Each structure stands twice: as structure tokens, then as C-alpha cells.
Amino acid sequence: MSVLAENIDVLWRHLLSGIQPFGIENVIYMKIADQPPLEPFIRSSLPENWPKAEFKDPEFVEPFLTHCCATFEITKAGVEFLSDHDSYLDEAKQSYIRKVAQFNFRAALGIPCQLVGTGRHGGFILGNGMSAFEFERNILPLASELQSLCLITDSRIRGIEAQKDKASNKQPLSPREYETILYIAKGMRPKEVAHTMGISEASVRLYLRNARMKLGARTKEEAVAKFTAVDERN
């Protein structure tokens, strides 16, 4: 498992433990790009056989992503509130909502975190098996607090993803930079590296500095450690 996945797993567990006292039993977190390729990211607390497979159909558009993420409004969702939305939900979307209801997801709150038009939109759907009356009495008054938890979690997930993107976009080492830090990693001194490579010691230090910067390291020792870790994976 990657560090990215591990960190998101930790955040996800914190979210689930944080919302349980509110009476929320299940969570779906999803987001897609505004334009194709949509690259859906979906995570849920539901069993593996929930209708997640619907997303494999390129023609399918999840109701929450279609409507809730066009505004920043918390929306009542789920089969218990289907009559509030059936005027603009086609049969395919209504069928999907009914299927999800079978997984103790009858009443829900749709909480958008990223709006359509920002490049990637999505958020959370928090649900349970309550009736509409029970849900409005017990859960709806907590909507603002639940929204805060969701926004914090989404922000942290995006921060983790940004770190990964930044790391993956680093410039590759040039052949000279690679060769220089390889020799340094083997324990050679800059003077020895210069003699081996047939270049000046100043050039060695320049290649080493460039390699350190590209590796995102503050010191030579840190650069060697990062280089060694990457090189071993390759």
C-alpha cells in the first residue's frame, strides 16, 4: 500500500469514528473531474456489493454529483426524500437510490465539498436507516457540525494528494547528477568522484546540489537517503 493510501485510510477511520456519535451509520465519499476522463474516486463504509459498479457505466451520472455539487447547499437525500427530487431524477437515478437504500442508507445528507467548475467536484453522503421524520428530527439539526467534519476531511485528503502530485512532478536527475550521487551514496568523497568521472570537483558539487534540490532534500545525507530509497524501488 502506498503512503498516500495509508494516510487517506487513517483520515477515513478518523471520520468514521467522529460521525458515529451523530447517528450516522454509513458514508460515501466521491469525486470526479469536471471533464472527461472523469477518473472517479469513491470510498464508502458500505459492503463491497453496494451499487458501486454503476460507476463503470460511462453513461451513468450519480445524482449527488449531478445536483448537490452545483451549489454549496447541504441536501436531504436517499429514498426517504426521493419525492423532493423525483421531478428531475430520471428512472435510472431513482433506481440507483433505491438500490443503495437496501444497504441501510434510506435517509442521507449530501454535503458538497468541491463544486462543479473547480476542476474536480464531489463530497460526502452521510446516511442511515431512519425514516424521513426521524432523520429530520435527529440528524438535520446536526448538519452544520457534520459539514465541518466533512470539509476538514476533504481538505486533508486534497492536501495529501497535492503532496503526491508535487513529488511525482519533480524533475528527473540528469545522467551526470545520477552518476554523481550514486558515487556519493557508495561512500566516495567529491574529490574521488571528480577523479573517477574526469570532471572538476566544483562540477561534482554542482551536480550534487542539483540532485539534492530535485530530490527535495535539505542536506547531502538526506539526498543520499532519498536517492537510495528511490533507486532500490526501481
Task: Give the pLDDT confidence score for residue 1 in this predicted structure.
Answer: 43
CB 197 within 8 A of CB 180: yes
Burial-class residue 218 by CB neighbours within 10 Å (0-12, 13-18, 19+). exposed
Strand pairing category for 75-77 and 107-114: antiparallel
Task: Give the pLDDT confidence score for residue 167 in this predicted structure.
Answer: 58
How far apart (Å, rounded) are the C-alpha atoms in residues 44 and 181?
44
The one-letter amino acid code at 112 reads P
Task: Give the pLDDT confidence score for residue 6 in this predicted structure.
Answer: 60
Q: Which helix (H) or strand (E) holds 76?
A: strand 75-77
Task: Give the pLDDT confidence score for residue 189 in this predicted structure.
Answer: 93
Domains along the chain?
Answer: 3-168 (3.30.450.80), 175-233 (1.10.10.10)
SS3 29: strand
For the entire predicted model, the pTM comes to: 0.69
Q: At what angle do helices 3-19 and 143-168 cross, to 10 degrees?
A: 180
Mean pLDDT, consecutive 10-residue stretches, the chain (234 aa), reads 64 90 94 82 91 75 81 90 88 91 95 84 94 97 94 87 63 86 93 92 87 84 84 52
How far apart (Å, rounded) are the C-alpha atoms in residues 159 and 177?
30
Alpha helices in 102-189 (DSSP H): 132-138, 143-168, 175-185
